[in-house]
Chain A
Amino acid sequence: MSTDQATDTSQETQTPNTRPMTRREFLLLIGGLGVGVVAADQIWRWFMAINDPHAQAEHGPVEGPYWAMAIDLQTCIGCERCVHACQATNDTAEGHLWNVLLQDDETFSKPVFITRPCMHCEHAPCVDVCPVQATYHREDGLVAMDYDRCIGCRYCMVACPYGVRVFNWEDNAGENPSAPTWGTPEIPRRPRGVVEKCTFCAHRLDAAEERGLTPGKDRAATPACCNICPTEARVFGDLKDPDSPVSKALQGRQAVVLRSELGTNPRVFYLLPTEDEV
């Protein structure tokens, strides 16, 4: 035990396994490793399958309708009704908005109002970063939250390129400042300590089929913000259906998505203002 070398030599003389490996042993070892890797892979897949109740971002193109929203910067008058309707319907706390009104004085030749819901990105940074899959892609491709799973780490808020996410810093115990004037709460309040965001009024979309309604066309199946808009600047619907309000709104107009350079592929399209009118 005096020096390392002494230890090494003593080990060599003691251990019987110093002879070189035979071919048979080598092949068995390689074969065993191969079987082990395949088994581990299968176990991993099986584990991820039972562990992954929420559809993952990697799933292929979305089947069924492609929900999208168009917001016309030309006709938006900045009345904030969509902000209030959202707050009333989704029962969010004071100053705790899923849908906000912003003003942009610089981008265009005239000041425009930009209202901003969740973009429901195809490649959503929030879905990638959530450590517990509390935020995930639904079957229809919308980005949803599982409030029972969220641990409140707020990484999704750091990651969201659009700042759409809000955290419940405290209990939402007060009165809803927008209800009942602008709508009636339709979903339960979320507990303290979880992150939440715009859902495209998914509870209305989900009820649409059994009620025989078409989202975008029938008001009861359309997001509250679109219904209330007095200038029809906000419309919703299935982008695969050429007759849907959103498809019609996009026809013949120049549209952009926010921060397109990030490749997130949002479902919210902004129709650019035209120069000729006010």
Chain B
Amino acid sequence: MLRRGNLFWIWIAALVVMIAIGLYTAFTIFSQGLAVTNMSDAVPWGVWIVLDLSCIGLGAGAFTISAITYILGRKQYQSLARVAVFVGLLGYSGALMALIMDIGRPDRFWHGWVYWNNHSMLWEVTMCITLYFSVLLLEVFPLVVEHPFFNRWGWLQNLAHRIHHFAPILAIIGLCLSLLHQSSLGATYGVVIGRSALWRSTMPLLFIVSAAAVGMAFTVHLTLIVQWFKQKEIVPTSVLFEIGQIAGGVLLFYLYMRFWDTTAGTYGYVPGRSEAENVLINGEFAVNFWAWEMILGGVVAAALLIRARMTQSVSALLVGSGLAMAGLVVNRWHTTLLAFTQPLSENPPVTLPAAAPYTPALTEWLTVLGVISILALLFSLGMRFLPAYNPQSAIPEVEAHA
């Protein structure tokens, strides 16, 4: 137990170092501009957008598990829902951090709120993400002020208690907002008529279904890791198996949709689309596509997640959910960068250069690691110190206030 305890503080120290490096790099970016990245006019979006999409996709467990718990009234999942809203809050924080670095004018981050363009998918995403972020804050707030430290401010805990009464309402609002923005993130790409690799109406559906599946799996994954560290249960194992199985089923449904989307989309010749598909299936992206998106992060992950409950195998659950997570991240990478491998129009050419290769610069990687480290630090501290995740030391279970 002592060695495990030391491990925790070594982990925290490592994270603090990574955060310091990330903050320094972020500072150079804010002071020198985005010229220090490897993005260009031909590849205007890079690894930060992938980070943003991944954070939001992996944070989707918050809305799915909350919906199951509070709307469908399956109170046995409440302990997992509490992990999920915490993971969700961190995921959306990560997305906001990635976006604030990515936009050229971080000082104008508030413009989306003031100058509306309701035709823009990105405007809709901005509104929904910030609103949903507030919902997540309200959902996590009672879990934080449960800590004995806040006992000195009784009114705070009263407020938290009142907010917790509205858990089902918050779950409904969260569900609506997530159904909007998880899919409109896909539509952000799907409506780009000028890039035939992107322009497809299935994009929003693929995004929300994959996020729903993998968000749940990711919450299960993190819970398993935390439980291993603590060597005690914070969520009943049966709950993890059940949610894992649901995630596996939804992932299978996603693969089915993806199969037909790809198959039906290959008929005819559309310049740029066929070439992009070739990059994905046979070309530069093929190894990652087949290994991570389709086989390991797709079929294998779904099979492991579904079978884990039948065989009561925790390791299958751990590996399956981890692979699903990798599959989602790789998918978001491909979605963001595939279109930029193709010229907008070959015949006649309309741009110079036609298309550009992109590998993230060190600055981009270090800031990505910095953001992930901030999230990991907050997650670790939360799991360690918040009563909700330490059932034995916790104040009595706050029961469902229906």
Partners in one complex: yes
* B117 and A132 form a contact (CB under 8 A): yes
Task: Point out the residues of chain A lying under 8 angstroms from B32, CB to CB.
Answer: 170
B-contacting residues, A147-166, CB 8 Å: 149-155, 157-163, 165-166
* B45 and A154 form a contact (CB under 8 A): yes
Q: A129-B191, A161-B193, A194-B105 are in contact. Are A149 and B350 (CB under 8 A)?
A: no
* B104 and A154 form a contact (CB under 8 A): yes
* A157 and B44 form a contact (CB under 8 A): yes
Tell me the complex Cα distance, A150–B122, Å.
13
* A168 and B104 form a contact (CB under 8 A): yes
For this complex, 13 residue pairs linking A to B, each with C-beta atoms less than 8 Å apart, are A8-B402, A127-B119, A129-B192, A131-B126, A150-B104, A152-B34, A158-B45, A161-B194, A162-B194, A169-B33, A170-B34, A193-B103, A264-B193
Interface SS of chain A: loop
* B112 and A125 form a contact (CB under 8 A): no
Report A4 CB to chain B, min CB distance, Å.
6
Tell me the complex Cα distance, A1–B75, Å.
12
B-contacting residues, A134-155, CB 8 Å: 134, 149-155
Residue of B nearest to A136 (CB): B117
Task: Point out the residues of chain B lying under 8 angstroms from A191, CB to CB.
Answer: 105
* B344 and A132 form a contact (CB under 8 A): no
* A7 and B103 form a contact (CB under 8 A): no
Residue of A nearest to B41 (CB): A166
Residue B311 is within 8 A (CB to CB) of chain A in the complex: no
Ranked 10 nearest A-B pairs via Cβ: A152-B104, A161-B194, A193-B104, A163-B351, A170-B35, A131-B123, A154-B44, A169-B35, A131-B122, A157-B44
Interface SS of chain B: loop
- Which of A1, A129, A161, A171 meets B345, CB within 8 Å? A161
Task: Point out the residues of chain B lying under 8 angstroms from A151, CB to CB.
Answer: 103-105, 108-109, 111-112
* A169 and B34 form a contact (CB under 8 A): yes
Residue of A nearest to B348 (CB): A104
Task: Point out the residues of chain A lying under 8 angstroms from B349, CB to CB.
Answer: 102-104, 114
* A102 and B352 form a contact (CB under 8 A): yes
- Total count of chain A residues near the partner, CB < 8 A: 57
B-contact 0/1 string along A239-259, CB 8 Å cutoff: 000000000000000000011
A-contact 0/1 string along B338-358, CB 8 Å cutoff: 010000110111111000000
* B108 and A158 form a contact (CB under 8 A): no
A-contact 0/1 string along B123-152, CB 8 Å cutoff: 100100000000000000000000000000
B-contacting residues, A167-205, CB 8 Å: 167-171, 191-195
Tell me the complex Cα distance, A171–B116, Å.
28
- Which of B75, B192, B347 meets A159, CB within 8 Å? B192
Residue A51 is within 8 A (CB to CB) of chain B in the complex: yes
* B347 and A100 form a contact (CB under 8 A): no
Tell me the complex Cα distance, A130–B112, Å.
10
Residue B273 is within 8 A (CB to CB) of chain A in the complex: no
* A163 and B399 form a contact (CB under 8 A): no
A-contact 0/1 string along B11-41, CB 8 Å cutoff: 0000000000000000000001111010111
Residue B293 is within 8 A (CB to CB) of chain A in the complex: no
Task: Point out the residues of chain A lying under 8 angstroms from B399, CB to CB.
Answer: 1
Residue B5 is within 8 A (CB to CB) of chain A in the complex: no
Report B335 CB to chain A, min CB distance, Å.
12
Residue B115 is within 8 A (CB to CB) of chain A in the complex: yes
Tell me the complex Cα distance, A193–B44, Å.
12
Residue of A nearest to B118 (CB): A48
Of B34, B105, B192, B352, the most chain A CB neighbours within 10 A belong to: B105
Extra inter-chain contacts (5) besides given A162-B344, A163-B41, CB under 8 Å: A1-B399, A51-B116, A129-B120, A129-B122, A258-B348
Q: How large is the interface on B (under 10, 10 to 19, 20 to 34, 35 or more residues)?
A: 35 or more
A-contacting residues, B172-219, CB 8 Å: 188, 191-195
Residue A21 is within 8 A (CB to CB) of chain B in the complex: no
Tell me the complex Cα distance, A18–B37, Å.
63
A-contacting residues, B72-110, CB 8 Å: 73, 75, 102-105, 108-109
Task: Point out the residues of chain B lying under 8 angstroms from A11, CB to CB.
Answer: 402
Task: Point out the residues of chain A lying under 8 angstroms from B377, CB to CB.
Answer: none
Residue B319 is within 8 A (CB to CB) of chain A in the complex: no
Tell me the complex Cα distance, A69–B140, Å.
57
B-contact 0/1 string along A20-45, CB 8 Å cutoff: 00000000000000000000000000
* A102 and B350 form a contact (CB under 8 A): yes
Residue B42 is within 8 A (CB to CB) of chain A in the complex: yes
Report A30 CB to chain B, min CB distance, Å.
23
* B33 and A170 form a contact (CB under 8 A): yes
* A4 and B73 form a contact (CB under 8 A): yes
* B194 and A160 form a contact (CB under 8 A): yes
B-contacting residues, A30-83, CB 8 Å: 48, 51-52, 57
* A165 and B103 form a contact (CB under 8 A): no
* B44 and A167 form a contact (CB under 8 A): yes
Report B192 CB to chain A, min CB distance, Å.
5
Tell me the complex Cα distance, A93–B75, Å.
61
Tell me the complex Cα distance, A153–B44, Å.
9
Tell me the complex Cα distance, A125–B195, Å.
11
Report A187 CB to chain B, min CB distance, Å.
19
Residue of A nearest to B40 (CB): A169
Task: Point out the residues of chain B lying under 8 angstroms from A1, CB to CB.
Answer: 399-400
- Which of A133, A157, A170, A193 meets B105, CB within 8 Å? A193
* B120 and A7 form a contact (CB under 8 A): no
* B120 and A131 form a contact (CB under 8 A): yes
Residue of A nearest to B351 (CB): A163
Residue of A nearest to B108 (CB): A151
Residue A209 is within 8 A (CB to CB) of chain B in the complex: no
* A153 and B402 form a contact (CB under 8 A): no
Task: Point out the residues of chain B lying under 8 angstroms from A158, CB to CB.
Answer: 44-45, 192, 195, 339
Tell me the complex Cα distance, A128–B124, Å.
12
